[in-house]
Structure 1
């Protein structure tokens, strides 16, 4: 009797453990990415249509980029041309990363990292471009004549109300430069470690990923805060250059490719999509998110094209030369 009672008492626990194991296996099957061979052997009509639409959107984005670059090359000198081309080139690269994610789902984390890197690269380049609009940091200090600058700008406008206005000096501009340049080094190191963990030991990645998030958020906030202050500074001298619009386009990289990606990645788990492995729920979810990003990048590229219409530097220089010739 004791043996049978022990057997009966153990049976429910074994059943619950089996149920838990099945649930874990189901979640693993739902979240596992197929190989390239499995992906294309089990291709569905939805994925075929998604690849076709994604390819068209990427080509459209590249065409917008080419048109913008040709316009910039006619209107800007070499000092402004290179950083401007880099800034408008962020968005077709993001589109290519989204397209690769749809074509090769297993590479999604690398492509997501590429999207993240675009903001890390765009921040320092945009700051360089801002001060090239006024020739240099030293020239800015001379032109402003020690005019104070407010520090309560987004994303720290609420918590920095008590900070006094600051007069830009060489040392303070150097601090501002470091606040922006820390992004590629700090976040780049973190993203490199996260990529290694994801593709080497995904269980360890899920255990430690949340510890990296505060460092990434703090780095982004510091960089964006410094850029917003710099935009406000340069706008006083170059108010017709649409600097706030250019900054907004850069911020959209973080909002659409990082925040929106993470929010939708969790929210779409509540909707049943796809079937069993290999074309599972995760494949459908990532495809929908990346199609949305591709559509948004086309719209943002059009906004960027509008924002970088100014300045028209070459024409201004030609007009000045003609005036000098007429004076002589």
Structure 2
């Protein structure tokens, strides 16, 4: 009897330990990102090199930004200066977010949200800048004599072929403004809810995250469509301001930080990297993606620097003043 009791007690002990192991494994599966202490205690050579390279790329991006801002301050007057500075500051902020993701992997969702927010903020600011190139919306209507505008522009060029041309009026420009300004409010609310779910209940987040995607896509498409229409309108008056290039640089925020991130996140699963928790496959995968984003942000910042070379407003104003003085 004693032997049987010992055997039964050993069985129950093994079962309890097995259940505890399963619970521990499930917890590890949920916690794909290590804590800061676990991350730095198990640091590998690859991650150390990645942190070094990411820091250099971020410093380079900030240096390009500083050079661009210095040039803008010399060449632009106040109405155009601050919107232009905000637009060129999107890319170093994204670089800092990517660097923080590599330094603290558990913060990846907050940092990814920051990258997403850059497009939501950039859209309304860029629309404001476009109309400041022509002084105001009312002045644009006067200068164009209410010339009709085409609506079949990307990303809705295929489904809007049948739409007639529209004459811009105050009411229609107001609708266009709302199409852009809905992005920070609509998507900001969604991203805030998703962050709360991710950090409070990751299982619930994984269950409901796909329901938010259609709303985010519709919001981005509406905002980008309105911006493309506005760029086409202003280009007719300010064709030498490289407006399409500036718009393309803004769109790269979504293309590189959102679409590319989603594509590579699944594609890299085919390559086995890392080991067991804490320095697992997810940490290696996100490190590679963020290093790629950092390299791309340096290249985009150089493109932005080129795009914002025009207009040279201050020099033009000085030349006009000199002409007036000579006439007097």
TM-score, with length taken from structure 2: 0.93
> Which moved further from structure 2: 167-176 or 264-273?
264-273
Indicate conservation of the 8 Å contact 2:28/2:277, yes or no.
no
Q: After the TM superposition, which segments of 4 or more aligned residues of structure 1 sit over 4 Å from their partners?
A: 1-24
CA distance in 2, matches of 1:127, 1:51: 36
CA distance in 2, matches of 1:146, 1:118: 33
Q: CA deviation at 1:267?
A: 1.1
Matched, 1:273 2:273: yes
Indicate conservation of the 8 Å contact 1:149/1:233, yes or no.
yes
Q: 1:218 to 1:7 in 2, by over 3 A?
A: farther
Q: CA deviation at 1:5?
A: 25
Q: 1:10 to 1:135 in 2, by over 3 A?
A: farther
Q: 1:107 to 1:253 in 2, by over 3 A?
A: same
Q: CA RMSD in A?
A: 4.1
Q: Secondary structure at the match of 1:43?
A: coil
CA distance in 1, matches of 2:140, 2:54: 44
Q: CA deviation at 1:292?
A: 0.2
Structure 1: state its 5+ residue gaps.
none
CA distance in 1, matches of 2:102, 2:27: 21
Q: How many residues align?
A: 328
Q: 1:7 to 1:246 in 2, by over 3 A?
A: farther
Q: CA deviation at 1:266?
A: 1.1
Deviation track 1:192-219 (CA, whole Å, cap 9, x = no partner) reads 0000000000000000000000000000
Q: CA deviation at 1:220?
A: 0.1
TM-score, with length taken from structure 1: 0.93
Indicate conservation of the 8 Å contact 1:34/1:105, yes or no.
yes
CA distance in 2, matches of 1:271, 1:15: 35
Q: 1:163 to 1:69 in 2, by over 3 A?
A: same
Q: CA deviation at 1:25?
A: 3.8
Structure 2: state its 5+ residue gaps.
none
CA distance in 2, matches of 1:73, 1:205: 44
| Structure 1 segment 8-27 matched on structure 2, within 5 A | 25=25
| Structure 1 segment 193-272 matched on structure 2, within 5 A | 193-272=193-272
